[in-house]
Structure 1
C-alpha cells in the first residue's frame, strides 16, 4: 500500500470518528441557530420609543418630581378587568380614580393604552368614557391570543398618572 493510499484511508477513518462528527454537528447547530436568531430579530420590531434620547434626558429628575406630585395629589386608582378577555370580542374595562378624601376625580382625559410586547404593530389606544364622576369605561377588543401590557393614563391639567397592568387575552 502506498503512502498516498494510507493518507486517504486515514482521512476517511477520521471523518467517521464520533468526535469529529460531533464537532461538525455542533458547528452546524451553532451556525443554524445564529441564522434563525438573526432572521427573527430583523423581522420583529422592538418596543423602543422613536424618541428615546429626548425622553431619557433628565429622566431621574423628572421621575422624582412626578413621584412627589403623585404623593401630593394622593390619588387612589383601580383598574377593573373582566374575568376573561376573548379574542375578537369586546371586553369592558373600568377605571376608578379618587382623591385623598375619597372623592371622585374628574380628569381631563383618560386613555387606555394596549401594548403587544412581541409586536409593536399591534399596539393601540382607546379613550375611556366617563360613566360617572371618577369612573371611566372602555370596550377593548384584543385581535390576538396572548399577553398584552395595559397602561391607563389619567390627565388633569399638566399632571399625568399612569397605571400599568397586564392581561392574557384568550387564555382562561
Structure 2
C-alpha cells in the first residue's frame, strides 16, 4: 500500500497483476463454452441434414413423369391444345361410385358448348397413383347412353388416384383430370 498524505492507498498495480490470472481463466472458460456450443450446434445441423438426405435418397421412387424433358420441350404445344379445348366449350362431368373395396364404376358425361350430349367419342382413362409408381393402368370407357360413358374399375390398392380422361371425335378432343378417393 502507498502512503499519500497520510492516507493509506491500495496498490492497484499489484492487485491488477493478481486479478489477471483469474480473469484470464474466466475468459478461457467462456471461450471454451462458446466454442463447444458452436461445435455442438454445427454437429446437430450436420446430423439432421445427413438424416434428411438419407431419407430422401431411400424414399425417392424415381422420376414422377416419364419423358419430363421432352414434355418440357413441347409445353407450347400443350398450351395451344388447352386453348383449342377452351374454344370448343365442351364440358365433362366425372363420377366415381364405389361398389366394394378398391372397386367401383367410373362415369363420364360429355357435352358440347350448347349442352348437347356428345355420343360418338372414344373415351379412355389413365388411372395414375400420385404417391406410388408402377400401379398405373389404362381403360376404355363404353358408351351406355347419350353422351354417357362408363367402365367398371378394380384398383390394385385403395387410396388417392388421378383419372386422366381423354375423349376424341374425328375433329376434336377433350381432356380432363379428376382426383378419386378409393377406399
Tell me if both proteins adopt one fold, taking TM over 0.5 as the criterion.
Answer: yes
Alignment gaps of 5+ in structure 1: 1-9
Matched, 1:154 2:167: yes
Which has the larger strand fraction? Answer: 2
Provide the residue aligned with 2:80 in structure 1. 64
Conserved? CA contact 2:85–2:173, under 8 Å = no
Alignment gaps of 5+ in structure 2: 1-28
CA RMSD of aligned residues (A): 2.8
2:49 to 30, 49, 57: 30
Conserved? CA contact 1:85–1:168, under 8 Å = no
Q: Cα distance 1:108–1:68, how it changes in 2: closer, same or farther (>3 A)?
A: closer
Q: Which has the larger radius of gyration?
A: 2
SS of alignment partner, residue 165 of structure 1: strand
Q: Cα distance 1:69–1:34, how it changes in 2: closer, same or farther (>3 A)?
A: closer
2:145 to 118, 121, 132: 132
Matched, 1:80 2:66: no
Residues 28-61 of structure 1: per-residue CA shift (max 9 Å, x gap): 23212212212222xx1332222641x4445325
Conserved? CA contact 1:151–1:165, under 8 Å = yes
Q: Cα distance 1:39–1:160, how it changes in 2: closer, same or farther (>3 A)?
A: same
**Which 4+ residue blocks in structure 1 deviate beyond 6 angstroms?**
none
Provide the residue aligned with 2:65 in structure 1. 48
2:182 to 160, 169, 172: 169
Conserved? CA contact 1:46–1:118, under 8 Å = no
Which aligned pairs between 1:78-157 and structure 2 lie closer than 5 A? 78-82=93-97, 84=98, 87-88=101-102, 90-157=103-170
Kindly state the Cα deviation for residue 158 of structure 1 after the two structures are TM-superposed.
4.7
**What count of residue pairs does the alignment treat as equivalent?**
151
Structure with greater contact order relative to length (CA < 8 Å, sep ≥ 6):
1
TM-score by length of 2: 0.68
Kindly state the Cα deviation for residue 131 of structure 1 after the two structures are TM-superposed.
0.5
